[in-house]
Amino acid sequence: MNKNSIILVLALVGIAFMTFMLLSIGGKKEEQALLNATPVIKEEGIEARSDEWGKYYPHQYDSWKQTSESSKIEDQLEKYPQLVILWAGYGFAKDYNAPRGHAFALQSNRNTLRTGGPTGADDGPMPMACWTCKSSDVPRLMEKEGELEFFTGKWARAGSEIVNPIGCADCHNTQTSQLELSRPYLKRALEESGQELDKLTFQDMRSLACAQCHSEYYFKKTPYTDKSGKDQVAAVVTFPWAKGLSAENMEEYYNEYGFMDWEHKMSRVPMLKAQHPGYETFTTGIHFKRGLSCADCHMPYTQKGAIKFSTHKIQSPLDNIANSCLTCHRQSEQEFKDIVQEKLDRKNQLNVIAMNSLAAAHLTAKKAWEVGATQAEMAPAIDTIRSAQWLWDYSIASHGSFFHAPGETLRLLGVANNKAQQARITLSGILAKYGVIDYEVPDFSTKEKAQQLAGVPLDKLVDEKQTFRKGLMQEWNNEAVEEGRLTDEFVKGLPEKASYLPE
Amino acid sequence: MNKNSIILVLALVGIAFMTFMLLSIGGKKEEQALLNATPVIKEEGIEARSDEWGKYYPHQYDSWKQTSESSKIEDQLEKYPQLVILWAGYGFAKDYNAPRGHAFALQSNRNTLRTGGPTGADDGPMPMACWTCKSSDVPRLMEKEGELEFFTGKWARAGSEIVNPIGCADCHNTQTSQLELSRPYLKRALEESGQELDKLTFQDMRSLACAQCHSEYYFKKTPYTDKSGKDQVAAVVTFPWAKGLSAENMEEYYNEYGFMDWEHKMSRVPMLKAQHPGYETFTTGIHFKRGLSCADCHMPYTQKGAIKFSTHKIQSPLDNIANSCLTCHRQSEQEFKDIVQEKLDRKNQLNVIAMNSLAAAHLTAKKAWEVGATQAEMAPAIDTIRSAQWLWDYSIASHGSFFHAPGETLRLLGVANNKAQQARITLSGILAKYGVIDYEVPDFSTKEKAQQLAGVPLDKLVDEKQTFRKGLMQEWNNEAVEEGRLTDEFVKGLPEKASYLPE
């Protein structure tokens, strides 16, 4: 072999190696290009079935399916029987569990005793609005029917239409795949609170997509005339943001509006139920103020081969500390967990204190009514309890407020408890005036005892629900499958869980 | 001029320039070397006069002098008259101002109405221990007399010995200039809480030097026999750290020990006075957990010419945000201030709530005693008030707890207020039993009204103090100057300020 031959061979080996490398890069590029191209899921309208999106976005779809790993039913009424007293006369006193993954949103909504056991389309107890945050069929149906029409009628009216749990179409545009606010009421609320919609950034959207549901709302009675000329009243999901997003801002809004969610069964207080002001509390915390979005921590970037994507296994960042928290916080996972645990412990301590005070206040008010207290005598305590419970509920109803805004949460719990105790002092005075001294509130230390006090007919509610689940609910499913609205084998296969079903 | 000449000239210019640069570096090196060499301030013993240290450490001494810029007298009893009720029967109900700079520590101690107007060495009301944290003469005198001997007798005993405010010798060894714990009680407390003294790092010392004074303490009655064989009782500053540093740990310590600082003049509660557990609350916060020391933020590094040194103008980092906070926190000064202000507002809100509840509890207890409540009836409320006020005081008595440990501060304020309200409910029941319904607590909305309720003879106290200031205090000063213990012209020239002196 002469010198030239050796050079030639070396050159050929070099070329072969470079070609291999280029091909390898080319392969990744191809996959990346496929990802970068915007597939059109459907030419027109909204595609509610996430499995259809999964054909184009397999990584996102697969990770979304993993939200089903968060499947445990944690009965909060067992854990904190005080809640039953606090919500006496309201649906949450019947059944209230800790949240599960997005995949279960619809199932939880159908299975909870709060939505009752309707026997037909016009049967109660809940309105259509109760579907609003449970399903990607909601924007589809809103588009099909119109928003006011969607918010009209009983919950059972659309049982066979609302069949896919929270999914792709809740946050993404079917034609462009871009992040989109699919719920018109959030757009209105943003405008009312002074936000210009056309100035929203991508980073804003990475929080606002979540804020569509993880926010405080009420059902605003809205009269309108339908297409057939008939007078209707819609119960429209509305965010009370016009005065600002703080607990006190919203309280002022509700008080001016003269709103109540229900009258308390024991204390007769016109109550407010805070739903889950997660976005609102987040905006009072340091992560928001330093420019983070919900997705930064709850949907951190993940690498699969050449593909980097935002995981759709939306979960507590504490279940994925390495990829979410530790990208900014330089410390060990254990140190990090210990610090968060401490925040949680603090919130738990003040939460239990406030719940106990509130429960005692409601029960003492009940006693005061029983011994003959007048409306005029009771008025100050009534107002104070309403405010106290609102502030308490705002501070803890959203998932993770202790973490999103630890200072604000502790402040609100402190103020709420102070008001509850203030009401108890006032009520003690009223009781004394009627000759009742040293009144001791009845025992509400278990869910059973508390539900008895609150008059919750648990067995009857479970029976009605089971009848519904075996009857009407099956009809809904069958109809939805027949008409092609529910095609997702994964969704169909989700194990059925509820507080009243055996583990 | 030929080519060689040009090269020669250029070479000479270069050499001249390099020489100049080297000399310049040499100059800086010289200054640095002077700084790096450890001057011996005094061959033996402790040098309490900071001006003597200033000869060797001009930058540190100059910056220390700047603590006199924080000179404003802010009467906290004017701002929060509730405090007078909370401390009825105790010195703090007489006079309590917001802290000033280190330069004023001794002046404030002499001028406050709490230390009274002694007329001679054996006259009260305060013991020697009240000098402990006010002066660099304290370690000098402890060394001279012995620790137990130091802690024996009345405050006025050592008036002419304790004449220099907090200064160099409080934290530095006179021979080596190294950081040193000059107060033996801190060493004992560290050992009792499980800390090994020989394992303390430089970074630990940058906090512990401060912890010598910025900590909770009590005066432990300690019998001993003096050199002349006489039985004595020392009142020794002692840190209640044996069970841990949290509010609850210390409360348990005090309860087991059966300690009280005083009996409340209205409620007759055996009270605890939290002093200023700044170090303890700091250890529950995130800055400590991330490895920071007090000095990192309160004494940030400063550059003066070639010299980099830790500023001894110890102050709130919020007065020096650029050099302290922003070296880690990447945000604008204004953003930073806004976030801190929010933390302060939250604490202020819960603080006022808790103070009002506590004041009402004391006044209601007074009423209950007046109408004939028995010891047995009162016992539960008494215990609850003691605990409530301790937790409140622990959470706010130290400077900046809202910042050092915002979560812990809010938690404690919430729990404290809950207990105060709980006591009020119990006391309402007792009052009702004795026929008193709807008791309204008297008005304590101004310092004057509150001090009248608390029986504070303000005019008399001011007269006594003024007599002392014009008489005995001048004698102390003269003696100290004559005997060469007070040489610092800066200290002598500090403007005299007190709550009862005109601005």
Reported as a pLDDT band with limits 50, 70 and 90, residue A330 is: confident
- Position B13 pLDDT exceeds 90: no
**Can you tell me the distance from the alpha carbon of B207 to that of B195, in angstroms, rounded to the nearest whole number?**
14
Q: Is the pLDDT of residue A30 over 70?
A: no
Residue whose pair of structure tokens reads 């397999």 in the numeric block: A58
Whole-number pLDDT of residue A21 = 58
Q: What is the pLDDT confidence band of residue A75, given thresholds at 50, 70 and 90?
A: very high
Asked if A432's CB is within 8 angstroms of B289's CB, the reply is no
Tokens of A468: 């519904």
Residue type, A434: Y
What pLDDT does A458 receive? 98
The mean per-residue pLDDT over the stretch B415-432 comes to 97
Strands of B153-266, DSSP E: 218-225, 231-238, 262-263
Task: For residue A335, list chain B residues with Cβ-Cβ distance below 8 A.
Answer: 289
User: Is residue B26 pLDDT above 60, yes or no?
Assistant: no
Model pLDDT for residues B263-312, shown as the tens digit of each residue: 999 999 999 999 999 999 999 999 999 999 999 999 999 998 888 999 99
Nearest Cα neighbor of A422 from B384, B432, B356 is B356
CB B243 within 8 A of CB B250: yes
The answer to whether A380 faces chain B, any CB pair under 8 Å, is: no
- B289 interface with A at CB cutoff 8 Å: yes
Q: What pLDDT score does B469 carry?
A: 98
Please, what is the end-to-end C-alpha distance for chain A in angstroms? 77
H or E segment and range at residue A231 = strand A231-238
Q: How far apart are CA B78 and CA B115, in angstroms?
A: 19
Integer angstrom CA distances of residue A450 from A88, A273, A453 = 9, 19, 5
How do residues B184-218 score in pLDDT, each as one tens digit?
Answer: 999 999 999 999 999 999 999 999 999 999 999 99
In 3-state terms, what secondary structure has residue B175?
coil
The pLDDT tens digits of the residues spanning A127-153 come to 999 999 999 999 999 999 999 999 999
Question: What pLDDT does A31 receive?
Answer: 66
Subunit contact B411:A350, Cβ cutoff 8 A: yes
The pLDDT score that the predictor gives to residue A20 is 60
Which residue pairs, CB below 8 angstroms and at least 24 apart, start in A253-258?
Answer: A254/A218, A254/A390
The predicted model scores a pTM of 0.92
**Nearest by Cα to B172 from B360, B299, B46:** B46
Average pLDDT rounded to a whole number, residues A279-300: 96
Any bridge partners for residue B154, and if so which? B127
Q: B290 — contact with chain A (CB < 8 Å)?
A: yes
Low-confidence winner among A101-105, A355-359, B120-124, B255-259 (lowest mean pLDDT): B120-124
- DSSP annotation of A241: -
Query: Which residue carries 């740990």 as its tokens?
Result: B249
Q: Is the pLDDT of residue A326 over 70?
A: yes
Q: Give chain A's domains with CATH numbers.
A: 50-70+77-492 (1.10.1130.10)
The predicted structure's pLDDT at residue A302: 92
Residue of A nearest to B405 (CA): A407
Q: Taking a C-beta distance cutoff of 8 angstroms, is the pair A278, A400 a contact?
A: yes
pLDDT at B254: 98
Q: Is B331 on the interface with A (CB under 8 A)?
A: yes
DSSP assignment, residue B208?
H
* Region of B164 on the Ramachandran plot (φ > 0 left; ψ -120 to 50 alpha; else beta): beta
Q: What is the DSSP string of B34-78?
A: HHHS---S-SSS----HHHHHTT-HHHHHHHHGGGG-----BHHH
Q: Which amino acid is at A351?
A: N
Contact residues for A234 (Cβ-Cβ < 8 A; gap 6+): A147, A148, A149, A150, A151, A152, A221, A222, A223, A224
For residue A426, what is the nearest residue in chain B, using CA coordinates?
A: B438
pLDDT at A5 over 90: no
Please tell me the distance from the alpha carbon of residue B408 to that of residue A339, in angstroms, as a whole number: 12
B343, B357, B425: residue with CB nearest A428: B425
- Calculate ∠ Cα A369-A372-A376, nearest 5°: 75
Predicted confidence at residue B124, as pLDDT, reads 85
Alpha-helical regions (H) of B105-178? 105-111, 137-145, 147-150
The Cα–Cα gap between A475 and A468 comes to 10
The pLDDT of residue A176 is 96
Read off the pLDDT band of A124 (50, 70, 90).
confident
Name the residue among A155, A107, A106 with its Cα closest to residue A133. A106
**Per-residue pLDDT at A343:** 96
First to last CA, chain B: 77
Mean pLDDT, chain A, rounded, equals 94
C-alpha A102/C-alpha A209 separation (Å) is 14
Q: Residue A342 and residue B407: Cβ atoms within 8 Å?
A: yes
- Residue A402 CA, chain-centre distance (Å), reads 16
Residues of A in contact with B283 (CB under 8 A): none
Q: Closest-CA residue in chain A for B439? A: A429
CA distances from B347 to A195, A468, A490, B76, B82 (A): 30, 51, 49, 16, 16
Average pLDDT, chain B: 94
Q: What is the pLDDT confidence band of residue B31, given thresholds at 50, 70 and 90?
A: low
Structure tokens at B286: 């995130």
Confidence of residue A23 (pLDDT cuts 50, 70, 90): low
pLDDT confidence of A25, banded at 50, 70, 90? Answer: low
Residue B23 has pLDDT above 80, yes or no: no
Residue B38 has a pLDDT of: 80
* pLDDT tens-place string over residues A220-259: 999 999 999 999 999 999 999 999 999 999 999 999 999 9
Contact A50, A136 (CB under 8 A): yes
Please report which confidence band the pLDDT of residue A63 belongs to, taking 50, 70 and 90 as the band edges: very high
State the DSSP H helix or E strand holding residue A464, giving kind and residue range, or none if neither: helix A458-470
Minimal Cβ distance to B410: which of A290, A414, A428:
A414
In B, which residues are within 8 Å of A290 by CB distance? 331
Q: Rg of chain B's alpha carbons, rounded to an integer? A: 27
Distance of residue B320 Cα from the nearest chain A Cα, in angstroms: 21
pLDDT, residue B5, reads 74
Distance CA A120, CA A29 (A): 54
**Nearest-CA residue of chain A relative to B343?**
A407
B433 touches A: beta carbon within 8 Å: yes
Of B346, B422, B429, the CB nearest to A437: B429
Task: Give me the pLDDT at residue A1, please.
Answer: 54
Model confidence at B330, pLDDT cuts 50, 70, 90, reads confident
Name the percent of chain B lying above pLDDT 90.
Answer: 90
| Other beta carbons less than 10 A from residue B144's beta carbon | 13
Three-state secondary-structure class, residue B179: strand
pLDDT of residue A36: 66
